Amino acid sequence: MRRQVAFGMLCVSSLVLSACSNPERATAPAPGDPATAAAPAQAAEAPVDQNRPFLRVNLDKIEWRKADGNDLGVQTAIVEGDPAKPGYYLVVNRFPAGVMSRPHYHNDERHAIVLKGTWYTDEGDVFRPKETVPLKAGDYMRHPAGGHHYDGALDEEVIVAISGTGPSRTISLDGGDRWGKSK
């Protein structure tokens, strides 16, 4: 279990790095590297916040809150940023066994990595939990902006890390509840 969570956090870190990377900076030497001192400053480079601290989050100490619009036990935690505001965000969602989101979409592209359990996903406007595609701990899925989908848990608790660029919204397709029973 601990190995799965560690692997999942490694995958999330990779997502964070890839979402924030700049191809020109990927090959640039690090600050303090002798090559940096000899290289002329590049005017096009984004400013670096030297005061931005490192962030470490322990999944077992994360502050969970009830996900919006549900009474079925779905929880969420904001790890970085704020999905409601402009900029990068990273959230972690916890689905209890037997609970899924109902068909919906988001205005922003999202990237998800399963941290624990098997996450069941499907595309489209029709809620068909028995026809979902399983993704195990460590697996990745991209939700394109505007892509109709639903996802969640069948037989066990599932924890999924999701990142994107806000402000993000969730739009329910049938106007009903966002969450439903998968069994």
- Please determine, looking at this structure, whether the domain spanning 2-48+63-181 carries the CATH number 3.40.50.720: no
pLDDT at 23 > cutoff 60 = no
Condensed to tens digits (0 to 9), the pLDDT of residues 44-94 reads 677 888 888 999 999 889 999 999 888 899 999 999 999 999 999 999 999
Alpha-carbon distance 6 to 164, whole Å?
A: 21
Instruction: Give the per-residue pLDDT at 27.
Output: 47
Mean pLDDT of 175-181: 85
5: left (phi over 0), alpha (psi -120 to 50) or beta: alpha
pTM over 0.85? The answer is no
| Percent with pLDDT over 90 in the chain | 64
Alpha-carbon distance 8 to 114, whole Å?
A: 7
In whole numbers, what is the pLDDT of the chain averaged over residues?
83
Instruction: Give the per-residue pLDDT at 183.
Output: 81
Contact 102, 132 (CB under 8 A): no
Condensed to tens digits (0 to 9), the pLDDT of residues 127-143 reads 999 999 999 999 999 99
pLDDT at 21 > cutoff 50 = no
For residue 87, what are the β-bridge partners? 166
* Cα dihedral across residues 49, 60, 10, 163: positive or negative: negative
Mean pLDDT of 9-26: 44
Instruction: Give the per-residue pLDDT at 44.
Output: 66
Domain ranges of the chain: 2-48+63-181
Instruction: Give the per-residue pLDDT at 69.
Output: 81
Alpha-carbon distance 99 to 72, whole Å?
A: 7
Type of residue at 2: R
pLDDT at 33 > cutoff 90 = no
